[in-house]
Structure 1
């Protein structure tokens, strides 16, 4: 190795090194994904998502991203296993740079959120004529509730009135929690066989930070045992 290159490499390592230590016990085997340093016990977690570089032993010069650090044990767990067990007496460095593995994991987590989850189902036996039958106290029945305590996006929420009586007036109401209490924010009337059966209660995207409920009411007395299909896509925002 060129002497000047070696010196430059050492200078870079020194600049990037947050901690240099020696393992005090054998790491896991055959997983080869942990190293233990008792001198790190009680330390704040400055290690997770940083790069662990091995400086001696069978895995000399190998590196991997730290996925977890046990402050009570001094155990570091890495994302990608090393080529061999990290045994007691192994020199290692904690490099103060984020790892490619951690960056990829973060990207995957965000992409998975964007993918969302699909709901395509139905509820049966709904009495859409019931007086005060909705949780709101309004006439009709609850169709679905999306429960959440975190921010989410609801895409293309559709309920179907295809099983309702001809010419029935169907009211769709949406509620969400405001300061802990459900309040109505949408209400619209549709006419069976005049309007399309598939009702876009949310035509596009709606961000919510608390529960969302959908209720329906029919003015036809025969709509007292209705199957109501519905679908939507739910996306995490955090």
Structure 2
């Protein structure tokens, strides 16, 4: 399920018109008011997981997540959530930096990115992320989102990002940006899991222009050819 912040709405950590993945939906039973109130749990642009009132958003894709289960709390509220989050103290542990809870959340986040974002959106996120690296490195929203996206596709070994990643990696390899290596490290790890002619040609390109790389990238590229 994806939503967009409505026009002329200002909320901390959110941007007008930007699309967000709904992690969890909560319907709170307000018996005293005779009505229910719905909230969306969203990871905002500050990478904080927060609850927002549903009326602030337009729904982009209305399909409920295929892995959501319906959970009723002791207070009578209804949660559309993941089985991994159903324990009553899950979010308390998450906000208190409990390692297991954070690990569960990150795994679900990767699955959401992999399953909810289409090919066109993938290309846009990665392309904008690299452009942001050049023009606005102090506010790397799309760049950080591109890292998350690539890591998700790496985990699920999906090859749909090969073309856009090789194209953008070539751009960064010939740049002078010191921080470019963060993107390239993630990109090289993703590419190295595929036996593919485009990947093969990309790593040849890298080794022919090795002066623009570093030891980590060179190790990934050489191991690729050793294993293939």
TM range (shorter): under 0.3
Higher strand share: 1
Higher helix share: 2
Q: Under a length normalisation based on structure 2, what TM-score does the superposition of the two structures give?
A: 0.20
User: Whose radius of gyration is greater, 1 or 2?
Assistant: 1
Whose relative contact order is higher, 1 or 2, with alpha carbons under 8 Å and at least 6 apart? 1
Q: Under a length normalisation based on structure 1, what TM-score does the superposition of the two structures give?
A: 0.20
